[in-house]
Structure 1
Amino acid sequence: MKKLILVAAIAATSAGAVNAATIYEGKGLTYKLKGDLQVQLRDNASQTKDAEIEFDDLELKNSVIYDLGSGMKAFGQLDFGFKNAAEDKSDYNGSQLEEAYIGIDFGGFAVAAGKQNYATDEFGVEGAYEHYEAEDAFDEIATDGDDVIRFDASTDNFTLVASTELKAEGEGSENGSSYDLFVATELGGVELAAAYQTYKKTPSSDSLDSWGLSAAVDLGSVELGADYSTTDTGTEDLDIYNLMAKFEATDTTSVGVGVTQQELDSSTDVTQVYANVTYKFPTQKNVSLFAEVSDIDEDGKDLDLDMLMGMRIKF
């Protein structure tokens, strides 16, 4: 599940960023490289498709941080993904630029501008390796953009993220505009979060409003989480529910179970029930093996089990 940490702007300036390899550090400059390589064999629920090798993710993330003194840092982020190229998608012959932004961290507060995730991308509890449909309402609409200004702020138990994507009307990057807000806090050991988005696909489109609530608790060997989000897709209302539990079976093995329910006003409902297991090597916790099986129930469709197994390496 997602924790109360800033995973974009402020996290990029953290000298102790998780899984990041420090390539150079000196004279107030730090350059970090982070990788996430996941390859899996998957036979999805469709009866018309055979099993294949999937890539999710294949990412390299570059972070440049300058210490400006007086508690301030300047940072830049440049991230590349290779998933589409690896899967021979026709529109991608090489890498795909996923994030490119710069900003300033003032210590507990940061502002960044560029190609990056919306504030609402932080929403939700995580349980499944693969979702048959969108994992939440924001994922259904939009969670990132090219002309994004984002503000991140945090204290010991409170997180606030706000972002806006400019209309950029008439420019080549005119592909959507939004206002997004994410807030989270911890009360009595329970992590509570809320998110809101108003989005326009084009400058002349009607606004699509989405919001969501989530709760999560870490009980040591067991983590529990739930979220609810809803949106107006432009033609009908969409509600998505998530329930998940994660159990630490041993020091190296965890088991996750959960359900995702998608409800539309006039269309068929979709329910995904899943279970997965993850093994992390005791000498290298950033290397893991995993497997997952999901049962998909969609009215009017005869679907098989969605099954996958794979390996992940992070640094």
Structure 2
Amino acid sequence: MSSASPSPQLYFDTINAFHKTEALKAALDLGLFTAIGRTPSTAAEIAARCECPERGIRILSDYLTVQGFLTKDGSHYALTLDSATFLDRNSPAYLGPSADFLLAPTLVEAFRDLTSTIRRGTPEVKSTTPEHPMWLDFARCMGPMMVGPARGIAALVPLDADRETKVLDISASHGTYGIAFAQQNPRAHLTALDWEPVLAITAENAKAAGIANRFSKIAGDAFTVDLGSDYDVVLVPNFLHHFNPADCTRFLRRVHAALRPGGRVVVVDFIPNEDRVTPPGSASFGLVMLSSTPEGDVYTFAEYSKMLADAGFHGFALHPLLPTTASAVIATK
């Protein structure tokens, strides 16, 4: 037995975790991190810039300091490196818009009665039609979070510079993954597959990235629509975790048929270790799938390898996409 005394701290930290969420959301809404910027500031100075009474700003700033988002020296607050990089609106890596999707009612409400979901074995998932706002919100808000891993994957899978090449981005959404390939490979043509309303946003992002003349769309259900053929790379980012292993394998067979000989599939996802409890960020994502999908889950590298093998692929390799919690599984036809 451990000699340490029992502590209720983990219980209280967890049961009150929504305090952290709401405090961070308030700080983003108020522009508190941007108000501090590069200049250590007092509560009064921050309050003036946020146009709020000082008391609320002081209490919020102290709380954010306790949580590790700010530092405090005397009466002056300053941003940590992470906060300066990701929470200041003036930073090119600003992640604030992602809160609109991550805290959207569709996702938050899915956790409201997790007990019933577990008893049933599946959530009462509301209809998510192609026009559902959540898909549009994801496409508008989440792209900046994917830039780093997308560029990393494009570097991992170089394309033949001596000929025209083809890339298919499944469930493309914001298009960040496919756009990264097109930007790093001037002779690559990108095809994005998603619902038609979402593809309007993908096309806007492709135009902004300067690849509109090498961009095309396929609108429809990825399990049934004609994918085309002779692709050099098929990207499958954050898609397979929505489905059970049999459906994943069935879909990967479609991908295999769409690739040219020697072509590669790149699966991007949260991939836990075989113990399914580490690393925490990847393993914990399973609860999101439990709360929001009928049969989705997180899958280990061994599980993905089996799905890919059953679909006809070989040469599986796992690539962690640090510092994010995502990983890529790359396999060859």
TM bucket, shorter chain: under 0.3
Q: Give me the TM-score of the superposition, normalised by structure 2.
A: 0.27
Structure with the greater alpha carbon radius of gyration: 2
- Higher RCO (CA 8 Å, separation ≥ 6 residues): 1
Greater fraction of residues in strand:
1
Greater fraction of residues in helix:
2
